[in-house]
Amino acid sequence: MACGVRIPATPSTHDRPQRRIPLHTVGKKLPPEVATAHKLLIKNENKSSATTGAFIALFTFCANRVPPTTKKLKDIMTRFHTLIAAATLLASTQAHAATITVLPTDVGAPGFNTWYLANYRGASNGFSSTTKAAITTANPRSGNGSVQMSLTDLSGKADYTYTWGFDNSRTLGSLTSLNYDWFRSGTSTASGIMPALRLLYDADGNAATGSDQGYLIFEQVYNPNAASVVSDQWVTSNLMTANLWQRQFSPGFTVESFGVSMNDWISGANQPANADRLNGNTAILGIEFGIGSGWDGSFNGFVDNVSFGFNQNVTTFNFEASAASAVPEPASIALLSLGLIGFAAARRRKVK
């Protein structure tokens, strides 16, 4: 039995009657430290993690087989302690960091919670640039693929977009991490340029007012270390400590101030008079990365591991050409091992 619980073949006098105890009832009788772990496990129940769900299911399965005798309950809960602690650690960590593999077949039509190609300008739709924006194996990162983005003249443009709309838990004030990996090929002639990353915002967080929406845009060239737009190597940019500029949607207007930091946008400080004034309540509606919009010359580059976190809940998108060799996160392997050690410890105690 995976959960290490002994289920009597024939109920003893003490064990009768055999009936299932609701998990919340069991929780009330637990020792304080076990109850705390239990509460944490339940707290994480709403988080979207298959692993978390599996552990919760396992825990519930085991708990439902505990007979209602206090002594027996304590005995079994003692045996469970190691397992619960490991499961809780795994559940809480998994809930806070999810890596999602994005395959070419996952990039489809525009919609919420899916990646899609947007603002494409290339030879196939009337522009002179030969423009590419696709997951390829040309320069793999964290596995076998990345998003290749290229154009051959200033008419080209392409974005990869992921939107979720209004979500109360996704505001500028709750943004806790934002980073991505980018690569500029040395064959590029467009000067000082790399794929930009954009946050789609609604300034006041109110869906009823739509004229206060736009982008916050990160480009290395507008940051103090502009010289670090290096070629032929992967660079990870942390936008939480970066400058971002603003592009308003209605009417289309670029705020020509490039020294406003993420902290300024979040706190409401140091914002230009002609900007949409942002603060912690500003809704973040989606994320996007792309090339073009008047870039002089040609460009070839790559993007991977686009990652954002709200309230420490981190989602990272790893773009892969195929699922076959997707690389598991080292942290997940370590935690899985920890969980197995917990199982082993619980079983050893049972044998004694």
Q: Which residues lie near Ca ion (CB under 5 A)?
A: 141-143, 145-146, 202, 204, 206, 209, 212, 304, 318-320
- Distance in Å, CB of 60 to Ca ion, minimum: 36
Closest residue to Ca ion, Cβ-based? 209
Closer by beta carbon to Ca ion, 213 or else 243 = 213
Closer by beta carbon to Ca ion, 120 or else 249 = 249
- Distance in Å, CB of 314 to Ca ion, minimum: 17
Closer by beta carbon to Ca ion, 202 or else 288 = 202
Per-residue DSSP letters for 17-86?
S-----HHHHHHTS-HHHHHHHHHHHHGGGS--HHHHHHHHHHHHHHTT--S-HHHHHHHHHHHHHHHHH
With tokens 């990353």, the residue in question is: 197
C-beta separation of 290 from 182 below 8 A: no
- Distance in Å, CB of 197 to Ca ion, minimum: 16
With tokens 């990160």, the residue in question is: 218
Q: What are the Cα distances from residue 315, in Å, to 96, 100, 113, 311, 330?
A: 8, 7, 12, 11, 16
- Distance in Å, CB of 329 to Ca ion, minimum: 12
Pairing of strands 213-218, 196-202: antiparallel
Closer by beta carbon to Ca ion, 6 or else 277 = 277
Closer by beta carbon to Ca ion, 142 or else 150 = 142
- Distance in Å, CB of 269 to Ca ion, minimum: 21
Q: What are the Cα distances from residue 83, in Å, to 66, 68, 215?
A: 15, 21, 46
Closer by beta carbon to Ca ion, 222 or else 319 = 319
- The tokens for 199 are 């946050």
Pairing of strands 97-102, 313-319: parallel
DSSP-derived letter for residue 332 is H
Closer by beta carbon to Ca ion, 45 or else 329 = 329
- Distance in Å, CB of 318 to Ca ion, minimum: 5
- Distance in Å, CB of 90 to Ca ion, minimum: 24
- The tokens for 307 are 């990652």
